[in-house]
Every structure is written in structure tokens, then in C-alpha cells.
């Protein structure tokens, strides 16, 4: 299946990367907050609230605390945002063909998405504030714990499609059964791993408001804080797109993109409001025990299935085609 | 003072401004990685000089001043004060007034426990439970508004009785409200005792044995959650608790989960009591006449606030202004237990352990004289003024 | 041991109306015995000053215009009042009551917070006296018999 293609420069700056990605990040943040509010029986913000927050944060003074490396302090939010924006180039955003895809870009995208957590960890370690140090430690601990299962879960559809290129995986996922049905464990681990990556509750121990004020970002204010926040929103969009294109039958056009990511967002919002916050040692324990084993079992099943594919394929064809 | 740049000793200071605390207080936790090795506290940020303020006002005005010591326990403070003054004057309020005092006391307990449930859930990161319990708390606040005219600071007590009455419409509203709240509370009990993630935050955290609770002097639901059978309403009943007695609720476990369970069980008891009082309210007058000038004497008056035992010492000198009023609130007794229990737990458990005793900082800050051998420091008014002037020079 | 024990609540809230009251666009009625602002009727007053004596916040003053003919004016500082209703209890002639409708008492300056209750002719000279040089207008006055 061919997705539409766009001139690369336009794709980089305006659509679907760049400005429109920022806009979509804000819209998705609004939908997420509104859904969580509705689940908690309250009204929630109005549609322009995330935009208003962003503009307000950009307008505030950025205070550089004493004892930090000033250059690092200012650069880190910019690097995080740049990494998030760059990751969008390889993913089929909004149903259009990925603008700069190449073979192996799955690994690059996943690394770029982890840059944000690394930047947060560095930002926290940069200061002398107690809360930031504890928050940075927790952020990096969480990074080490969910990253392996998440990568392995992303690998499942890649193995099934026999390719490292996201566009190819997207194209192949559009044929046949949805991967969410064929590889259910991988789907669950991928979705929950996305929540861990974005530090959404119940995995928000690195920025636990009632324990360590704001975690690693305690000292940030104004522009730096706004850039971190919008970087996180963009990661939400990209993560949802990745999971939708891998597991929910590929993204063929914008309508497809919209409804699939919104359904995933609904499930994510429900999961956010159901659980109490997990302590950092409980998070690590859960991921390294349950998460990794589950996804390894899943991969084993896929590999065995691929091995026996010539034998099994006719049966499966009969089942689907029938 | 610990060295803050040595790698193993690391002090995390919580407060006086911190999102975990609803009111200011300063806690220093010495942390080793994530394990807490030492905890100290410093209170006194909300000291308003209320005990001194009572000496300039007459008894009637003091009733309203004492009511504003705390927002959630306001009725029990006023009730303790009124009971004490009535004891000094040698009168007793009529039965209908005592029953109405107990009614509002139990409604306040429901309000306080629902509020605490939400706040403790919020400290554990469980915002959904927080929103739902506070939504249901609105019911009891509306009931109190229908009865007394205000949602907090009810001003129902006067010296000698109460000033509000309960008519049929209010009784129906109360019954309806209690039914609704009881159903919701059953659901919260299920959530608190069965939800996996929540149990991971509360089971076996903050474990306090019965001996420790008695040694550290814990009071209220914090002590009852460790099996200590101590409740002023049962040990020395006051104001209507001999007409409508309450059952003692304890739990043997002693951890955070037990504190949740104890408070929810107390909620059930309160619903039962409110229904009973509403159906069997004795007839009679609402107030009894109390003289303006209270005869000389000293008395103590103890009531059970939602947080524990509240203790008033009052001394009168024959005029219409009190001589000395001393307030000892329950939250002050429970701090020792927190500081002892915190050692050995992770930093992430600190907010929940702090919230587990239901701290009320504004009740807390009364004057305490600490005798450290022969190093007592007591300052008079003049000393305080001089110190203040010198400090700001 | 359940995982996600509040799922029933969540799903039910998703399909029903949120519980928030959209104040100030919709506001609910205050109940019958609500303690709002004070209302004073000068005709019934005998000037015994019991209400002034027991007020914990010194919010009321009764000014005597004419003791023989029992003409009094009350100066009520709304911002000091704690709405405790002790004055209502003390008054034996039922001339002080608390309103159920007047509870939205926010204002942007100090002037509306000093209220004079009494007869027209008694209050006017007081208002003129209260206007100090430099102030543009006098504090608000309320007519003696409301609603």
C-alpha cells in the first residue's frame, strides 16, 4: 500500500513534522487531560488550555539557579525537543509516508525517543537541589527498567515483517490480521511501556509531586520547562503512532491515524486513572520480572512461528481467506 | 548538623513549603540512597498566639475563637470549651442539646475521615480515589449546611447548649445522606483493602506494634490501628455519648492499611450513630442559662476529635474572662510515632506515613515547655518583645 | 486482590455528566438556615447593646441618635464579621437576623464593607460625616426595612 508523500523540506518544517507536530502534541495533551478528568467525574480543561500553558511558560522568566552548569542547563531542553522532533521524520505521521525513512530507522527512532529521558536525567543531575538528584536517579532507573521490554515489544512486528524499516513494517502490517491479535502480549507490553517512557501515572515516580516536588525538573521554569513539556507531548503522539502502526494494522491515511491513536489514547487515559503510583523499586521489579519474561515468551513464539511458517502458512491462509 | 556533601549522608528536607504538606512543617530525612536513616521534625510555623488571645476576651467570644483553632475539628474544640465552662459554672446542658452536639460531632467525624481518605490517596499517587472521596464529602458538607448554616466552622455550640434545632425536613435529608454515604463507603473499603497497587503502598508500611504505640503515646485512630483500646468516647463519655454509646473500633495489624481500615470502620459507626440520634432525638430545650461571671476553679475537659484525644485545661478567676486556657491537640502526640517509624523505610513512603496519622498542623502549634534537665527556657511577654525588636533591627 | 478496582466508577463517570457545578453560571440555592450577611431592623431595637458586647470580632456598633425615642443606627463592618450568629442569639427583640440570599460579598474596594442600617434621616448625617476629604463617595447605606 502506498501512502502519500510530501516534499521533504515541507515535511521537516511544517507538515507533518515541525509546526503541525507541535500543534498536534498540544491537541493530544488536551484530549488526554480531558479524558482523565472525565474518568474522575470532573470537567477538565478547555481546548486551548495546553496552548495557554505553553505560551505562559514561554513568557516567564527563566531562572538559572546557582551551582549549575549554565550552558548545559539551557541546552538540555532544546536537545530533548530536537530529538523528539527528529524522531517524527521516520514515523508515518498523520498517515503520510515517512519523509526520510531508511533501513534500520527503527533503532534510530527508539534511541531518539529515549533521548528525552536521558536529558531529564542529566538535567536533574546538573543541579545541587536534593529533589532533582533523587528525581534524576529515579528517572534513569526507570529508563533502565522499561527500555528492554519496550524495545523487545517493538521488535516483535519487525521480526514478523522481516524488516528494520518502519515504513516497511507499516506497509506489511496493513495486510493480514492485526498484530494486536496475533501478538497480544507484545501489544500490552508496548502500550504499558509507552506509559513508562512518558512517565505517566502509575509510573510517574520520577516526578512524584507529593514526594519530590517535581523530580528532575524542579529547578526548571519558564522556557526550559515549556520545552520539556512540549517535548513530552510530541513523544506521546509519536509513541502512539508507532504502536498503532505496528500493532493495529498499520496507518494508511489520516482518518486511520486519527481513530487508531485516539482509541489508544482512551485506553491509556483509563490506565492512568486506575492505579496508585508505583514506587520505583516496585516499577523495576515489575518490569524486570513480569514485563521482560512476557515479551521474551512472545518473541519466542514469533520466532518459532517464522521457522515453521512454510508449514503453517497454508493453514492460516485458509483460516483468514477461508 | 549532618554534613550535606558527604556521599552517604544526604538530607532531604520536606517543608515548610512542599506539595506533600497541606500546612507548613519542617521535616528532615537523612537518606542513604532511598532508605531513610534518621528523621527530625520542626513545628511551630502556624503559631497564632490563640491561647494568649483568650485572656483578653470574655467566655462567649472565646468560644468562637477556640472554634477557629482548626478547620476540620472546629466543632470538637468548641464543644470541649463549652463543656469545660459548663463544668466550672456547675450547670449541665439539657439532653436535647447534648444529643445535637453529638450529632454534629459525628457528622464532623464523617467529614474529616472522608477528607483524610482523599488526601492520603493523593499522597500515594491515587488521584482517582482522591476525586471520588471528595465528591462524596460534598454530601456531608451540604448536610451540615442544611443543619447549621455553614459548611465548615459550624458555630452550633453556645455555652449552655446549642443554638440550632433539627426539624423534620432536616431529619429526612440526614437519613437520605447517610444511606448514600454508606453505600459509597462500602465501595471505598473494597478499594482500600483489595486494590493491588494501593496495597503495595500501604501493606506492611509504617508498622507500629502495640507496645510501641503505648510507649510513644499515640492517640486516636493511629493508636487504635495498632490494637490499643483507647477512645475517650468509650472511656469517659461526654455530651450525649451515654445516651447513644459508640463501639470501639480497633485493628491488630498496625500498618498503614490498618489505619485506613480503622477510619473506614469508624465511618460505619458514625453513620449508625447519626441514624440513631435522628430517630430518637430527646425533646426539651436547647440551652440552659449560664451566668456571665464564672466562679473560680480549674477543670479539664477531654473529647474525642477525629484525630484522637483533645484535652483542654481551663482556669477561671471569677470574672467574665478566663484566666488560662491550655489546649493539647492529638496531632502533637502522634508525631513521635512518625519520626520513630520513618527509619528504615524508603523515601517514597514518607508522605504516606506522614499522612497516615492525619496531621493537623494548625491544631498543633501550641506552646510546649520542654524540660531538658535544668535547661528550661520560658520566655515572658517582655522577653519575646525584646527578642523580636532585636531580630529585625 | 483486584487490579483496577475503580474501573466501575471510571466507566460510569465517562458516560454521565460531571459532578462539577459551573459556578458562577449556575449556582445552587442556599438552604433555609444559611448564615449570610446581617440584617438589622432599627424600629425594634431598644439599644441594649448585648449584641455588641458578645461579638467576637467587634463587627457591630450601635450608634445612639436619640435615646428617648429609641432611634438607633447600626454600623456593621462586613469584613470583620465571622458570621457566628451570636448577636442573633443574644437579641431578645428579634431585630437582628442573618440573610439567606446575601452571601456573595466579594468587593473590589473597602467601601462596600461598612454598612449603615437605620432610618433615612438618621443615616444621612452619619454618611456625610463619614466622607473624609479626598474620598469621592460615602460608604453604602441600607434602608431600614428590606424585602
Match 449560664 to its residue by C-alpha cell: B290
- As given in the structure block, the three cell numbers for residue B343 are 527509619
Would you place residue A316 in the very low, low, confident or very high pLDDT band (cuts 50, 70, 90)? low
pLDDT for position B83 = 93
Question: Which DSSP string corresponds to C95-117?
Answer: -EEE-SS------SSSGGGEEEE
Rg of the Cα trace of chain A?
20
What CA–CA distances, in Å, run from A14 to A24, B33, B301? 12, 46, 73
Rg of the Cα trace of chain C?
22
Domain with residues C32-142, CATH architecture:
2-Layer Sandwich (3.30)
- Say if B147 is an interface residue toward chain C (CB within 8 Å): yes
Would you place residue A312 in the very low, low, confident or very high pLDDT band (cuts 50, 70, 90)? low
- As given in the structure block, the three cell numbers for residue A84 are 523528539
Q: Do B191 and C4 touch (CB under 8 A)?
A: no
pLDDT for position A320 = 64
- Where are the domains positioned within chain C? 32-142
Q: Could you report the per-residue pLDDT of A4-42, keeping only the tens digit for each?
A: 666 767 766 776 667 888 898 999 999 999 999 999 989
Question: Are the C-beta atoms of B319 and B91 separated by less than 8 Å?
Answer: no
Question: Are the C-beta atoms of C98 and C36 separated by less than 8 Å?
Answer: yes
Average pLDDT of the residues in B180-194: 92
Q: Do B150 and C54 touch (CB under 8 A)?
A: no
ipTM of the complex: 0.87
- Give the mean pLDDT of chain B: 87
Q: Do B64 and C33 touch (CB under 8 A)?
A: no
**C121 Cβ partners below 8 Å, 6+ apart?**
none
| Surface of A (272-301) touching C: CB under 8 A | 273-275
Collect contacts of A15-19 with beta carbons under 8 A, ≥24 apart: A15/A94, A16/A88, A16/A93, A16/A94, A16/A96, A16/A99, A17/A85, A17/A88, A17/A89, A17/A93, A17/A99, A18/A85
pLDDT for position A277 = 87
Compare all CA atoms of chain B with the CA of A204 and give the residue at the minimum distance.
B125
Question: Are the C-beta atoms of B345 and B324 separated by less than 8 Å?
Answer: no
Using a pLDDT cut of 90, give the percent of chain A over it: 21
- As given in the structure block, the three cell numbers for residue A63 are 531562572
Distance from CA of C127 to the nearest CA of B (A): 30
**A321 Cβ partners below 8 Å, 6+ apart?**
none
pLDDT at residue B6 tops 50: no
Q: Could you report the per-residue pLDDT of B67-86, keeping only the tens digit for each?
A: 988 888 899 999 999 999 99
C71-77/B26-32 β-pairing: unpaired
Would you place residue A56 in the very low, low, confident or very high pLDDT band (cuts 50, 70, 90)? very high
Nearest by Cα to C33 from A61, B14, B162: B162
pLDDT for position B369 = 57
pLDDT for position B370 = 55
Peptide linkage before B16 cis (omega within 30 of 0): yes
Question: Are the C-beta atoms of A304 and A195 separated by less than 8 Å?
Answer: no
pLDDT at residue B390 tops 60: yes
Would you place residue A205 in the very low, low, confident or very high pLDDT band (cuts 50, 70, 90)? confident
pLDDT for position A11 = 65
Q: What gap in Å lies between CA B120 and CA B129, rounded to an integer?
A: 9
Q: How many domains does chain B have?
A: 1
Average pLDDT of the residues in B304-326: 90
Crossing angle for the helix pair B95-123 and B74-89, nearest 10 degrees?
A: 150
Would you place residue A62 in the very low, low, confident or very high pLDDT band (cuts 50, 70, 90)? confident
Q: pTM for this one?
A: 0.89
Would you place residue B336 in the very low, low, confident or very high pLDDT band (cuts 50, 70, 90)? confident
Domain of residue B231, CATH code: 1.10.645.10
Residue B352 lies in a domain: no
Distance from CA of A286 to the nearest CA of B (A): 11
Distance from CA of C24 to the nearest CA of A (A): 15
pLDDT for position B176 = 93
Question: Which DSSP string corresponds to A61-126?
Answer: PPP--TTS-HHHHHHHHHHHHHHHHHHGGGS-GGGSPPTT--TTHHHHHHHHHHHHHHHHHHHHHH
A321 alpha-carbon distance from chain centroid: 34
pLDDT for position C18 = 85
Q: What gap in Å lies between CA B293 and CA B216, rounded to an integer?
A: 40
pLDDT at residue A2 tops 60: no
Distance from CA of C10 to the nearest CA of B (A): 9
Peptide linkage before C24 cis (omega within 30 of 0): yes
* Interface probe, candidates B57, B155, B163, chain C, greatest C C-beta count within 10 A: B155
Residue B380 lies in a domain: no
pLDDT for position C144 = 40
* Interface probe, candidates C34, C85, C101, C105, chain B, greatest B C-beta count within 10 A: C85
Contacts of A42 in chain C (CB under 8 A): 18-20
Average pLDDT of the residues in B120-138: 90
DSSP C81: -
C84 alpha-carbon distance from chain centroid: 11
pLDDT for position A76 = 92
Q: What gap in Å lies between CA B369 and CA B69, rounded to an integer?
A: 20
Would you place residue A265 in the very low, low, confident or very high pLDDT band (cuts 50, 70, 90)? very high
Higher-scoring residue by pLDDT: B118, C128: B118
Would you place residue B265 in the very low, low, confident or very high pLDDT band (cuts 50, 70, 90)? very high
SS (H, E, C) chain B: CCCCCCCCCEEEEECCCCCCCCCCCEEEEEEECCEEEEEEEECCCCCCCHHHHHHHCCHHHHHHHHHCCCCCCHHHHHHHHHHHHHHHHCCCCCHHHHHHHHHHHHHHHHHHHHHHHHHHHHHCCCHHHHHHHHHHHHHHHHHHHHHHCCCCCCCCEECCEECCCCCHHHHHHHHHHHHHHHHHHHHHHHHHHHEHHHHHHHCCCCCCCHHHHHHHCCCHHHHHCCCCCCCHHHHCCCCCCCCCCCCCCCCCCCCHHHHHHHHHHHHHHHHHHHHHHHHCCCCCCCECCCCCCCCCEEEEEEEEECCEEEEEEEEECCCCCEEEEEEECHHHHHHHHHHHHCCCCEHHHHHHHHHHCCCCHHHHCCCCCCCCCCCCCCCCHHHHHHHHHHHCC
Kindly give the parts of chain C with pLDDT less than 50: 134-138, 140-147
pLDDT at residue A1 tops 50: no
Q: Do B199 and C5 touch (CB under 8 A)?
A: no
The C-alpha torsion from C27 through C32 and C34 to C40, rounded to 10°, is 120
Compare all CA atoms of chain C with the CA of B135 and give the residue at the minimum distance.
C19
pLDDT for position B1 = 39
Task: Please name the member of A41, A44, A275 whose beta carbon is closest to the beta carbon of C4.
Answer: A275
Give the H/E segment covering residue C132: none
Q: What gap in Å lies between CA B93 and CA B243, rounded to an integer?
A: 14
Would you place residue B313 in the very low, low, confident or very high pLDDT band (cuts 50, 70, 90)? very high
The total of other beta-carbon atoms located within 10 Å of residue A313's CB is 11
Under 8 Å CB pairs connecting chains B and C tally to 71
- Say if A41 is an interface residue toward chain C (CB within 8 Å): yes
pLDDT for position B351 = 84
Residue B141 lies in a domain: yes
pLDDT for position B79 = 93
Compare all CA atoms of chain B with the CA of A38 and give the residue at the minimum distance.
B128
Mean pLDDT lowest among B22-31, B116-125, B169-178, B305-314 = B22-31
Distance from CA of C114 to the nearest CA of B (A): 22
Rg of the Cα trace of chain B?
22
Distance from CA of B123 to the nearest CA of A (A): 6
Would you place residue A226 in the very low, low, confident or very high pLDDT band (cuts 50, 70, 90)? very high
Nearest by Cα to B104 from B58, B40, B164: B164
Under an 8 Å CB criterion, which residues of A touch B?
A: 39-42, 130-131, 134, 201-202, 204-205, 208-213, 273-282
Mean pLDDT lowest among A246-250, B56-60, B218-222, C142-146 = C142-146
pLDDT at residue B168 tops 50: yes
pLDDT at residue B8 tops 70: no
Peptide linkage before C104 cis (omega within 30 of 0): no
- Say if B312 is an interface residue toward chain A (CB within 8 Å): no
- Give the mean pLDDT of chain A: 85
Q: What gap in Å lies between CA B82 and CA B76, rounded to an integer?
A: 10
pLDDT for position B2 = 40
Would you place residue A295 in the very low, low, confident or very high pLDDT band (cuts 50, 70, 90)? confident
Q: Could you report the per-residue pLDDT of B217-255, keeping only the tens digit for each?
A: 888 899 999 999 989 999 889 888 989 999 999 999 888
Give the H/E segment covering residue C8: helix C7-15
Q: What gap in Å lies between CA B375 and CA B373, rounded to an integer?
A: 6
CA angle A86, A90, A94 (to 5 degrees): 95
What CA–CA distances, in Å, run from B69 to A33, B25, B305? 38, 16, 13
Give the H/E segment covering residue C72: strand C71-77
Q: What gap in Å lies between CA B28 and CA B122, rounded to an integer?
A: 21
Q: Do A130 and B132 touch (CB under 8 A)?
A: no
Residue B41 lies in a domain: no
Crossing angle for the helix pair A254-274 and B127-148, nearest 10 degrees?
A: 60
Crossing angle for the helix pair A18-39 and C7-15, nearest 10 degrees?
A: 110
| Surface of B (187-206) touching A: CB under 8 A | 195, 197-198, 200-201
**B374 Cβ partners below 8 Å, 6+ apart?**
none
The total of other beta-carbon atoms located within 10 Å of residue B253's CB is 17
Amino acid at each position: 500500500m502506498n501512502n502519500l508523500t510530501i516534499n521533504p523540506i515541507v515535511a521537516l518544517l511544517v507538515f507533518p513534522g515541525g509546526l503541525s507536530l507541535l500543534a498536534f502534541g498540544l491537541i493530544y495533551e488536551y484530549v488526554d487531560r480531558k479524558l482523565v478528568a472525565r474518568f474522575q467525574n470532573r470537567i477538565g480543561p478547555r481546548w486551548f488550555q495546553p496552548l495557554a500553558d505553553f505560551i505562559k511558560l514561554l513568557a516567564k522568566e527563566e531562572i538559572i539557579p546557582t551551582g549549575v552548569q549554565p550552558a548545559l542547563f539551557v541546552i538540555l531542553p532544546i536537545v530533548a525537543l530536537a530529538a523528539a522532533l527528529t524522531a517524527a521524520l521516520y514515523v508515518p505521521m498523520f498517515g503520510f509516508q515517512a519523509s526520510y525513512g531508511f533501513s534500520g530507522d527503527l533503532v534510530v527512532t527508539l534511541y531518539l525517543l529515549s533521548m528525552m529521558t536521558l536529558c531529564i536525567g542529566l538535567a536533574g543531575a546538573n543541579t545541587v537541589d536534593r529533589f532533582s538528584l533523587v528525581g534524576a536517579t529515579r528517572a534513569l532507573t526507570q529508563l533502565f527498567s522499561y527500555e528492554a521490554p519496550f524495545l523487545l515489544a517493538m521488535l516483535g512486528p519487525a521480526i514478523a515483517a522481516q524488516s528494520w524499516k518502519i515504513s516497511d513494517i507499516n506497509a506489511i502490517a496493513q495486510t493480514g490480521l492485526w498484530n494486536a491479535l496475533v501478538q497480544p502480549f507484545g501489544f500490552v507490553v508496548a502500550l504499558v511501556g509507552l506509559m513508562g517512557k512518558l512517565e505517566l501515572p502509575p509510573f510517574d515516580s520520577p516526578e512524584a509531586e507529593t514526594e519530590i516536588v517535581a523530580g528532575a525538573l524542579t529547578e526548571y521554569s519558564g522556557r526550559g520547562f515549556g520545552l520539556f513539556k512540549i517535548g513530552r507531548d510530541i513523544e506521546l503522539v509519536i509513541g502512539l503512532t508507532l504502536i498503532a502502526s505496528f500493532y493495529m494494522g498499520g496507518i494508511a491515511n489520516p482518518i486511520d491515524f486519527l481513530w487508531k491513536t485516539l482509541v489508544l489514547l482512551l485506553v491509556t487515559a483509563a490506565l492512568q486513572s486506575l492505579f496508585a503510583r508505583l514506587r520505583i523499586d516496585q516499577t523495576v521489579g515489575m518490569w524486570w520480572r513480569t514485563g521482560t519474561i512476557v515479551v521474551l515468551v512472545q518473541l519466542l513464539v514469533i520466532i518459532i512461528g517464522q521457522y515453521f511458517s512454510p508449514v503453517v502458512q497454508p493453514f492460516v491462509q485458509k483460516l483468514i481467506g477461508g | 548538623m549532618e554534613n550535606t556533601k558527604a556521599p552517604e549522608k544526604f538530607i532531604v528536607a520536606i517543608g515548610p513549603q512542599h506539595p506533600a504538606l497541606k500546612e507548613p512543617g519542617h521535616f528532615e530525612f537523612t537518606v542513604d540512597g532511598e532508605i531513610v536513616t534518621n528523621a527530625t521534625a520542626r513545628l511551630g510555623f502556624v503559631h497564632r498566639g490563640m491561647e494568649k488571645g483568650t485572656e483578653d476576651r470574655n467566655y462567649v467570644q472565646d468560644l468562637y475563637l477556640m472554634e477557629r483553632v482548626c478547620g476540620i475539628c472546629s466543632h470538637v474544640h468548641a464543644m470541649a470549651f463549652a463543656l469545660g465552662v459548663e463544668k466550672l459554672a456547675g450547670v449541665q446542658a439539657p439532653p436535647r442539646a447534648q444529643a445535637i452536639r453529638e450529632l454534629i460531632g459525628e457528622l464532623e467525624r464523617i467529614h474529616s475521615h472522608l477528607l483524610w481518605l482523599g488526601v492520603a490517596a493523593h499522597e500515594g499517587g491515587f488521584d482517582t480515589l482522591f476525586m471520588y472521596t471528595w465528591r462524596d464529602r460534598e454530601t456531608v458538607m451540604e448536610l451540615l449546611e442544611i443543619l447549621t448554616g455553614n459548611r465548615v466552622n459550624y458555630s452550633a455550640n453556645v455555652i449552655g447548649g446549642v443554638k440550632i434545632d433539627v426539624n423534620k425536613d432536616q431529619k429526612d435529608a440526614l437519613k437520605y445522606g447517610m444511606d448514600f454515604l454508606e453505600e459509597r463507603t462500602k465501595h471505598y473499603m473494597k478499594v482500600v483493602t483489595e486494590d493491588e497497587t494501593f496495597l503495595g503502598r500501604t501493606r506492611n508500611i509504617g508498622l507500629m506494634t502495640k507496645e510501641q504505640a503505648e510507649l510513644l503515646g499515640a492517640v486516636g485512630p493511629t493508636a487504635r490501628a495498632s490494637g490499643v483500646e483507647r477512645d475517650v468516647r468509650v472511656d469517659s463519655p461526654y455530651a450525649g455519648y451515654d445516651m447513644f454509646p459508640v463501639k470501639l473500633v480497633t485493628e491488630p495489624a498496625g500498618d498503614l492499611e490498618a489505619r485506613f481500615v480503622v477510619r473506614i470502620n469508624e465511618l460505619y459507626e458514625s453513620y449508625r450513630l447519626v441514624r440513631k440520634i435522628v430517630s430518637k432525638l430527646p425533646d426539651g430545650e436547647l440551652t440552659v442559662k449560664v451566668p456571665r461571671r464564672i466562679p473560680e476553679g480549674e477543670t479539664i475537659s477531654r473529647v474525642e476529635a477525629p484525630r484522637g484525644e483533645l484535652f483542654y485545661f481551663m482556669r477561671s478567676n471569677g470574672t467574665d474572662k478566663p484566666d488560662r486556657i491550655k489546649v493539647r491537640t492529638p496531632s502533637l502526640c502522634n508525631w513521635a510515632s512518625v519520626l520513630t517509624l520513618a527509619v528504615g523505610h524508603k523515601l517514597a513512603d514518607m508522605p504516606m506515613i506522614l499522612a497516615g496519622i492525619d496531621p493537623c498542623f494548625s491544631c498543633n502549634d501550641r506552646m510546649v515547655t520542654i524540660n531538658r534537665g535544668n535547661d528550661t527556657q520560658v520566655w515572658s511577654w517582655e522577653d519575646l518583645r525584646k527578642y523580636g525588636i532585636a531580630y529585625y533591627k | 486482590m483486584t487490579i483496577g478496582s475503580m474501573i466501575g466508577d471510571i466507566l460510569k463517570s465517562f458516560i454521565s455528566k460531571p459532578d462539577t457545578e459551573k459556578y458562577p453560571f449556575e449556582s445552587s440555592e442556599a438552604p433555609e438556615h444559611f448564615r449570610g450577611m446581617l440584617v438589622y431592623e432599627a424600629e425594634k431595637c431598644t439599644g441594649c447593646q448585648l449584641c455588641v458586647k458578645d461579638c467576637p470580632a467587634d463587627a457591630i456598633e450601635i450608634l445612639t441618635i436619640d435615646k428617648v425615642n429609641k432611634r438607633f443606627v447600626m454600623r456593621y463592618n462586613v469584613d470583620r464579621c465571622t458570621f457566628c450568629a451570636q448577636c442573633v442569639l443574644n437579641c431578645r427583640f428579634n431585630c437582628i437576623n442573618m440573610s439567606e440570599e446575601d452571601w456573595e460579598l466579594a468587593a473590589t474596594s473597602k467601601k462596600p464593607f461598612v454598612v449603615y442600617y437605620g432610618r433615612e434621616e438618621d443615616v444621612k448625617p452619619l454618611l456625610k460625616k463619614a466622607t473624609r476629604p479626598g474620598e469621592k463617595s460615602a460608604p453604602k447605606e441600607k434602608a431600614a426595612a428590606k424585602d
